[in-house]
């Protein structure tokens, strides 16, 4: 991207990289995402070859890690090549650039000379969007796309003109998959990755034209698994030089393909049977979607004298005496929750992922009082 080309678009204003680097921006006239983007672009073009990046904290304490800019560049090139995004196309930014997902949207735009429309960090970033031209590339967290298709289904027309949508940060629920099937005809991908891998390193196709049950590696990436079936990532050009052992339990199809089963540190051992909460959540969400019901929920465990650990369900919202019996009847005996609890609002990380551990602590605290 030439530093003089007007490629950053905020509302009706267009800015070049040179503008971003040299101009001052009044905080009263621009939203937080634009100002954060300006700060990141300036750090991208500084004299340092690395950035300091905070991890999301979705499965543990957030930590500060160092990422090389050349690896971010390699990741960006790999994504635009895989998704067939031509130079000069356009993209939409609505993810917080404090985190790697938002930063990488900016890097892809810079590397691929794309026009970058800067929106806002909201649950429905397309609600008040006014654009006169096609946007080729979107990146959402699943909750955002769910809100867009539920609240403003007319925006499916804008999305369907795109060349690709990627969804990251959380699994795609059955209810969202149903909305995708109903409204979207463009390529939609669920992503697998983390801050340490500089955003995603594998994609799973979700739209009805070419659905897939498995994540497939980007170019230059391959996988193996340890004795506990935890995924090991080999991506020296993008991530670390040494193989990266994750806490994700997978079914390895081949060295480039896997099925994600859940987190190793979330596994419940109930009566000697190992249960992956995410797989049970997926089954419950599917049955709920078929019944036209929708809840934010997660599976967790409590100590049990007989079983060691028992399966429990935490639901976001008030207890409205919903009958879970027909839902649980679709589960295997060992998967059925032994108790259902309600929490008015789940705790979430700064990147809007459900913080399971804090949510459980909040529920326990509320029920001690």
Give residue limits of the domains in the chain.
6-219, 267-368
Q: Which two tokens stand for residue 92?
A: 């939409």
20 or 171, which is more confident? 20
pLDDT at 368 over 80: no
Tell the burial category of 192 from Cβ atoms under 10 Å away from its Cβ (0-12, 13-18, 19+).
buried
Hey, what CATH topology would domain 6-219 get?
Answer: Rossmann fold (3.40.50)
- Alpha carbon distance, N-terminus to C-terminus of the chain: 58
pLDDT band at 260 (very low <50, low <70, confident <90, very high): very high
Angstrom distance (rounded) from CA 16 to CA 265: 45
List strands edge to edge, sheet with 297-304: 297-304, 308-316, 339-343
Region of poorest pLDDT, from 35-39, 122-126, 203-207, 348-352: 348-352
What is the per-residue pLDDT for 190?
A: 96
368 or 355, which is more confident? 355
Dihedrals phi, psi of 245, to nearest 5 degrees: -85, 120
What is the per-residue pLDDT for 131?
A: 82
What is the per-residue pLDDT for 242?
A: 87
CATH of domain 267-368: 3.30.300.30
CB 230 within 8 A of CB 246: yes
Angstrom distance (rounded) from CA 228 to CA 225: 8
pLDDT at 96 over 70: yes
pLDDT band at 120 (very low <50, low <70, confident <90, very high): very high
pLDDT band at 273 (very low <50, low <70, confident <90, very high): very high
What is the per-residue pLDDT for 369?
A: 53
The answer to pTM > 0.85 is yes
């Amino acid at each position: 991207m030439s530093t003089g080309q007007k490629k950053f678009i905020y509302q009706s204003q267009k800015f070049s990289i040179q503008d971003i680097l040299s101009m001052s921006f009044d905080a009263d006239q621009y939203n937080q995402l634009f100002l954060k983007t300006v700060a990141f672009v300036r750090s991208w073009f500084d004299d340092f070859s690395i950035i300091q990046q905070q991890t999301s904290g979705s499965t543990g304490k957030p930590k500060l890690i160092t990422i090389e800019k050349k690896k971010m560049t390699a990741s960006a090139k790999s994504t635009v090549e895989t998704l067939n995004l031509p130079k000069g196309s356009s993209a939409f930014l609505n993810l917080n650039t404090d985190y790697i997902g938002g930063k990488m949207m900016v890097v892809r735009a810079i590397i691929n000379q794309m026009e970058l429309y800067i929106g806002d960090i909201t649950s429905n970033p397309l609600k008040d969007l006014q654009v006169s031209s096609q946007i080729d590339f979107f990146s959402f967290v699943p909750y955002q796309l769910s809100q867009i298709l539920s609240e403003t289904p007319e925006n499916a027309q804008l999305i369907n003109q795109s060349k690709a949508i990627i969804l990251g940060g959380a699994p795609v629920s059955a209810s969202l998959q149903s909305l995708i099937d109903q409204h979207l005809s463009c390529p939609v991908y669920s992503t697998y990755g983390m801050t340490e891998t500089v955003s995603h390193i594998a994609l799973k196709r979700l739209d009805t034209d070419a659905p897939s049950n498995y994540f497939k590696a980007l170019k230059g990436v391959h996988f193996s698994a340890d004795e506990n079936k935890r995924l090991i990532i080999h991506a020296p050009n993008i991530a670390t030089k040494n193989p990266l052992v994750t806490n994700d339990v997978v079914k390895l199809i081949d060295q480039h393909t896997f099925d994600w089963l859940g987190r190793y540190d979330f596994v419940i051992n109930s009566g000697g049977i190992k249960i992956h909460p995410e797989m049970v959540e997926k089954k419950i969400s599917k049955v709920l979607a078929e019944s036209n019901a929708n809840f934010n929920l997660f599976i967790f465990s409590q100590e049990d004298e007989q079983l060691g650990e028992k399966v429990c369900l935490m639901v976001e919202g008030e207890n409205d005496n919903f009958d879970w019996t027909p839902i649980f009847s679709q589960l295997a005996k060992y998967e059925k929750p032994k108790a259902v609890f309600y929490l008015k609002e789940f705790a979430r990380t700064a990147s809007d992922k459900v913080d399971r551990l804090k949510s459980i602590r909040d529920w326990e605290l509320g029920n001690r009082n």
